[in-house]
Amino acid sequence: MGLGTGTLGMRLEKAGVVGMITSRNKLSGFANPFAAQNAGGGRGPGGPGGPGGRPSVGASDRGGGPASSLAAAAAGRGGFGGGGAGGAGGWGVIEVFETYNTTAPAVGLTCEDYSLVYRLAENNQKPMVTLDLDAALLGEQPAFNTIAMIKGSEKPDEYVMLSAHFDSWDGSSGATDNGTGTLMAMEAMRILKKAYPNPKRTIMVGHWASEEQGLNGSTAFTEDHPEVMKGLQGLFNQDNGTGRVQSLSSSGLTDIGRHLKQWYTQLPGFFTDSLSANVVSWSFNDVPTGNPGGTDGAVFACFGTPSFGMGAVGWNYGTYTWHTNRDTYDKIVFDDVKHNATLAALMVYLASEDPEFIKRDRSPGTWPANWPANCGKVPRKTRPRY
């Protein structure tokens, strides 16, 4: 029932309340990580759910990877929230995060229902709300990544990897965050297995656990598999909703842009013709930009390995589905997911067939301080937040 009571919920629990009813509108209670270019964005005053700030766990599901964010947003793609949208959410959408209570349940009502209860209470009409709740804390539970591979035939110790996180927030089933990324990666693997069963390099897919708590699954993988980090030709990560991927981006290694451009120019015109509705752009930034902790691709950058972001058109990800009660199956645009899986399979194929291994020389130039932010050892046990 993680419905965003934040630190206020903790205080109310300590004060002895038996439960609390909240209605936290989407994007009202914390700094909107997608509104970097939006001066009006940022942290709102806190809804009835309280001012619980977002802990600095890092994960914010932004963009396709460490390099994609600003380029995609600048192109009007991949970013969401759009101009002026910071602080505004979709109709009837409630955010689902930051409930730390362990004894007093927090129940979220949508705005309309909450307002009715509020008005009745204000008018001394003594509304009664009957709740049928069944929840239990299960204690420490194991989390695990789901990994699959097609073994390389010529260079089995070199790897091309697809990446998406498998976990979601608990307000709904997580269809667009990140079910669609997972679907893309699985379908791309199915295509590759059928059309390219004996790849030059080993092709892997990582469905990461515990991304939402701070990129834990992917960080654990990079820590546990130095052989993959050493031989990684490229990682393709997708994590910004069901939209059509419209940008491929990379940064940080001097050699990486050249390779990405080579692969891009071999894509069918369907993806590269500027008049095509399906056109995909590619970009390379000498030094990384954007939010480095946004999604799993960032942790690979800690090892100086090539990481490619797949930035999707935002649709209503930021306003309706991201971390809300509305992130359900019906929001998936399967035509877009099909497009993304086809593109992912093509890029992985091209990266695998590339005669050269991408060199690891780090780009000169002024890198942002604290970039990337998520380097370090991953916690192997849950840390209490408060």
Chain contacts with Zn ion (rule: CB under 5 A): 61, 177-178, 239
> What's the rounded Cα separation, in Å, for the pair 316 and 80?
7
Nearer Cβ to Zn ion (181/257): 181
Phi, psi for residue 256 in degrees, rounded to 5: -75, -40
* Both tokens assigned to 169: 């927030």
Residue type, 19: G
Is residue 100 within 8 Å of residue 9, measured between CB atoms? yes
- The backbone torsions φ and ψ at residue 159, rounded to the nearest 5 degrees and listed phi first, read -130, 145
The residue sitting closest to Zn ion, measured at its beta carbon, is 61
The answer to whether 1 touches 45, Cβ cutoff 8 Å, is: no
The smaller minimum CB distance to Zn ion, of residues 13 and 95, is found at 95
Whichever of 103 and 146 has its CB closer to Zn ion, that residue is 146
3-class secondary structure per residue, 129-182: CCCCCCCCCCCCCCCCCEEEEECCCCEEEEEEEEEEECCCCCCCCCHHHHHHHH
| 177 vs 354, beta carbon nearer Zn ion | 177
Least Cβ distance, residue 220 to Zn ion (angstroms)? 17
Of 46 and 290, nearer to Zn ion (C-beta) is 290
Please state the closest distance from residue 129 (CB atom) to Zn ion, in A.
32
- Rounded distance, CA 262 to CA 184, Å? 23
Tell the smallest beta-carbon distance from residue 177 to Zn ion (Å).
Answer: 4
Find the shortest distance in angstroms from Cβ 168 to Zn ion: 8
Q: How far is the CB of 64 from Zn ion (least distance, A)?
A: 11
Closest approach, Cβ 181 to Zn ion, in A, equals 7
Q: Output 10 or 72, the one with its CB closest to Zn ion.
A: 72
DSSP of 183-225, one letter per residue? HHHHHHHHHHHHH-SS-SEEEEEEEESS-TTTSHHHHHHHHH-
